[in-house]
Structure 1
Amino acid sequence: MIASTENKDPSLSTELGGVDTRGSSVHLPTSSPERHPGFQRIFRPGDLTIGLIMPLETHPGRPAPTMDHHLEAARRAEDLGFGALWMRDVPFYDPAYGDVAQIFEPMVYMAFLAAATQRITLGTTGIVLPTREPMYLAKQATTVDRLSGGRLVLGLSSGDRQSDYPMFGIDYATRGQRYRDAWSVFRALVEDKFPRFQSEMFGCADGTLDLVPKATFGRVPAIAVGRAQQTVEWLASNLDGYLGSAPKPEGLDAMADEWDSQVRDLYGPQRYKPIGIGGFLDLSSDPHMPFQRIPGGFRAGRSTLINYLERARAAGVSHIALNPKVSRQPYSEILDELAEYVLPHFPTQASASERA
């Protein structure tokens, strides 16, 4: 499920808030994220693409999928033309939530999928950044990005499972601050050569060590998943995009306008930082079933889904990450129906590297 927590800590700095990065570290020349194949494949102005949140298996009423034939399902999703496969970060089984996502640790699982697929974007919705050691995460991210040929889009959240935090010995109330601090360290390691920084929570660097490998295209694109206890201004200033919970149809314009207006205020009208939406999809057997909210997502028929996505695209939404695991029909039938009736309206275009 995509986190949608609201900001509770307005006292935020901008850019590299929380970490002192003054010193002689060299900022590497970085390409725009729009040139990154994984980012470009799913985020383009004026277009909307469709991705799938793992697992690629329906299991309504059960906390865990079987993960049988998961590799074949991932390859089939790629062949059918879906834009991305998204992995959630759920380290523990909490019966109060009753959901363990795709079971496998997302960064490890992405590396496995990178070897088994060729084109599809691989993303996270999202890595719970306050509970991650950002130096190891940076190493994992640049490794996966290089091994996949530049297909990683790193979604970062603050997490909505309070029960996880005591397991890590972390105060849940500090997650907003930890998010900013961890992000600053991550960014310095990925984007600077022999970085210098002093972090309150995650160590320091004096410019004598450098992270290897570096990202293939200069940096790993990173998007916010949910508000992550931050202001929209901070997210728009620091991250490459935003992925939020899918609202009702009448809420699409306001959601997209809030993000786009903040990006315009910061960078001007020419800068593109995409907004996406996502959540559970219960695909009805009735193609015309009206849009209906369910916890963490919505229920709809295919015709209604098409109408919803057309409205989202018109509002400026660039991507939707769907999790049909709550649907009642077999997943293979869902893929067939979406591929036959929905994807033709919202095709995934080849990236520049695929066309070369």
Structure 2
Amino acid sequence: MRASAPVTHELWEHPAYRSVFRKDALSIGLILPLETHPDSPMPTMRDHAEMAQRAEAMGVAALWMRDIPFYDPSYGDVGQIFEPLVYIASLAAVTKKIALGTTGIVLPMREPHILAKQVNSLDQLTGGRLLLGMSSGDRPSEYPLFGIDFDTRGERFRDAYQTYRTVSEQHFPVFASSRFGKSAGTLDLLPKPPYGRTPTIAVGRAQQSLEWIATNMDAYLGFVPGPANLDQFARDWKEQVAQSMGSDAFKPAAFGGFLYLHRNPDYPFRAIKGGFAIGSRALRRFLEQAREAGVSHVALNPKVTPRPYTEILDELHSEVLPYF
């Protein structure tokens, strides 16, 4: 099986992919939960539907769900608690157009045939609002629960991805996997993706080379680079896409992480664990620099900010979102 992924005309017709990842433009998304809880590993999830509607009305491009199956106190973070694909279905029912994505499904711990059925169903039912971010996972404590060797997660990621793409997109596929079964072409998985395929995004490197990601996936969402590293971040990706797919190829680069939105609007960029601290006006300048470098999307998670989430949204709405 081979799962190379040129960005086809059909994929650019995919509503979420087209709205979130535009060449020479930058969009802004929010990583859930849509509340701050800097001193607790668990959000309350109160008013989450209303906050999603508010984010959509403000012009936020995407809402991103994390995949954390179990609570590990040593990590102290459970994301939005709810299983991401189930939660996407819930949020799709209370919103209209905003893209709904994962950052990212821990693919080595997922059964790819069932994942394909779930993802294709969601993309069909939401009218193309789904973006499938995939990762290899970074919590060794979870892997024994699934009977999987943590050290093989990179190889398992590739195998699961190829199986997922094959059964998702091919009609009556013929394939064989050492981990995920085989088919002689007598069975077909339905439904198929509404736009040929559901866009897949590497969240982090997923234990893969940048070359493999550029060849096989539809976008790359990396960790937050500092202002001095933005140009290199975007250049490395663009050059790898050109080498893997041709000089005219375009696949989007993005980054995401925690946002500590400082009360001083001009507070300069400062790296923190898993993200960065910054003031709102400085954030606008940083994102303008990212856009100029060629970054297409930024996913922000303000959970670490010790301020009410509504206050953060209001400030992003007035100081940042109108410029992108």
Normalization by structure 2: what TM-score?
Answer: 0.97
Greater RCO structure (CA 8 Å; 6+ sep): 1
Deviation at 1:267, TM superposition (A): 2.1
Residue in 1 that maps onto 2:130: 152
Residue in 2 that maps onto 1:319: 297
Alpha carbons of 1:168 and 1:198: their partners in 2 closer, same or farther (altered >3 Å)? Answer: same
Residue in 2 that maps onto 1:162: 140
Residue 186 of structure 2: which of 208, 211, 216 is its match? Answer: 208
Secondary structure in 2 matching 1:193: coil
1:1-356 to structure 2, matched below 5 A, reads 15-16=2-3, 31-346=9-324
**How many residues of Structure 1 are paired with residues of Structure 2 in the alignment?**
321
Does the 8 Å contact 1:144/1:152 carry over to 2? yes
Does the 8 Å contact 1:15/1:237 carry over to 2? no
Secondary structure in 1 matching 2:225: coil
Does the 8 Å contact 1:31/1:217 carry over to 2? no
State how far apart, in whole Å, the 1-side matches of 2:35 and 2:313 are: 10
State how far apart, in whole Å, the 2-side matches of 1:154 and 1:44 are: 17
State how far apart, in whole Å, the 1-side matches of 2:149 and 2:253 are: 30
Does the 8 Å contact 1:31/1:218 carry over to 2? no
State how far apart, in whole Å, the 1-side matches of 2:189 and 2:94 are: 27
State how far apart, in whole Å, the 1-side matches of 2:228 and 2:86 are: 38
State how far apart, in whole Å, the 2-side matches of 1:182 and 1:296 are: 27
Deviation at 1:158, TM superposition (A): 0.3
State how far apart, in whole Å, the 1-side matches of 2:294 and 2:300 are: 18
Deviation at 1:223, TM superposition (A): 0.8
State how far apart, in whole Å, the 2-side matches of 1:305 and 1:16 are: 37
**Which amino acid letter does the alignment assign opposite residue 201 of structure 2?**
I
**Which amino acid letter does the alignment assign opposite residue 173 of structure 1?**
D
State how far apart, in whole Å, the 2-side matches of 1:189 and 1:215 are: 11
Structure 1 gap ranges (5+):
1-13, 18-29, 347-356
State how far apart, in whole Å, the 1-side matches of 2:234 and 2:289 are: 11
Deviation at 1:205, TM superposition (A): 1.2
**Which amino acid letter does the alignment assign opposite residue 313 of structure 1?**
R
Superposed structure 1 runs of 4+ greater than 6 Å apart: none
**Which amino acid letter does the alignment assign opposite residue 154 of structure 1?**
L
Does the 8 Å contact 1:88/1:124 carry over to 2? yes
State how far apart, in whole Å, the 1-side matches of 2:16 and 2:167 are: 21
Deviation at 1:31, TM superposition (A): 4.7
**Which amino acid letter does the alignment assign opposite residue 283 of structure 1?**
L
Residue in 2 that maps onto 1:354: none
Deviation at 1:34, TM superposition (A): 1.5
User: Percent identity, aligned pairs only?
Assistant: 57
Q: CA offsets per residue over residues 248-286 of structure 1, 9 Å max, x none? A: 111111111111001111222321100000000000010
State how far apart, in whole Å, the 2-side matches of 1:57 and 1:186 are: 33
Secondary structure in 1 matching 2:300: strand
**Which amino acid letter does the alignment assign opposite residue 119 of structure 1?**
K
State how far apart, in whole Å, the 2-side matches of 1:96 and 1:343 are: 35
State how far apart, in whole Å, the 1-side matches of 2:10 and 2:319 are: 34
Secondary structure in 2 matching 1:163: helix
Deviation at 1:341, TM superposition (A): 1.1
Q: CA offsets per residue over residues 27-68 of structure 1, 9 Å max, x none? A: xxx753221001011001000000000000000020000000
Deviation at 1:162, TM superposition (A): 0.8
Q: CA offsets per residue over residues 284-306 of structure 1, 9 Å max, x none? A: 01001111111000000011101
Alpha carbons of 1:157 and 1:50: their partners in 2 closer, same or farther (altered >3 Å)? Answer: same
State how far apart, in whole Å, the 2-side matches of 1:45 and 1:157 are: 24
Deviation at 1:16, TM superposition (A): 3.7
